[in-house]
């Protein structure tokens, strides 16, 4: 069994409030969830133009975990209202935990 985690640091466009930030991030999280992954928004809520999107997935094959994380990264990078600043990812075997 393998666990994959992806953390994407994103810059949002012309966002001036927390409400607007949520309005931009919420549809992205919904699209990611359609890929059957666990998703959460993190980061400092007081920074209106920055967000961290966390994604995790589990599979019996490490190649499948990498494939799902690649797809998630491409989805976030392709969002017109976001600029992908950095991505950190990790794939581990549950035996290593």
- Classified as helix, coil or strand, 95 is helix
Structural domains of the chain, with CATH: 2-96 (3.30.70.1120)
Q: How far apart are CA 42 and CA 53, in angstroms?
A: 6
Question: Could you give the CA distance from residue 48 to residue 67 in angstroms, rounded to a whole number?
Answer: 31
For the entire predicted model, the pTM comes to: 0.92
- Residue 12's pLDDT is 93
Q: Is the pLDDT of residue 1 over 90?
A: yes
Q: List, for residues 9-64, the tens digit of each pLDDT value.
A: 999 988 888 899 999 999 999 999 999 999 999 988 788 899 999 999 999 999 99
């Amino acid at each position: 069994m393998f666990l994959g985690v992806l953390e994407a640091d994103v810059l949002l466009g012309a966002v001036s409030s927390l409400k607007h930030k949520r309005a931009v991030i919420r549809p992205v999280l919904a699209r990611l969830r359609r890929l059957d992954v666990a998703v959460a928004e993190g980061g400092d809520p007081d920074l209106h133009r920055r967000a961290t999107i966390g994604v995790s997935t589990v599979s019996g094959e490490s190649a499948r975990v990498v494939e799902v994380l690649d797809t998630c990264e491409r989805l976030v990078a392709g969002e017109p209202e976001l600029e992908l600043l950095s991505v950190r990812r990790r794939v581990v075997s549950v035996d290593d935990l």
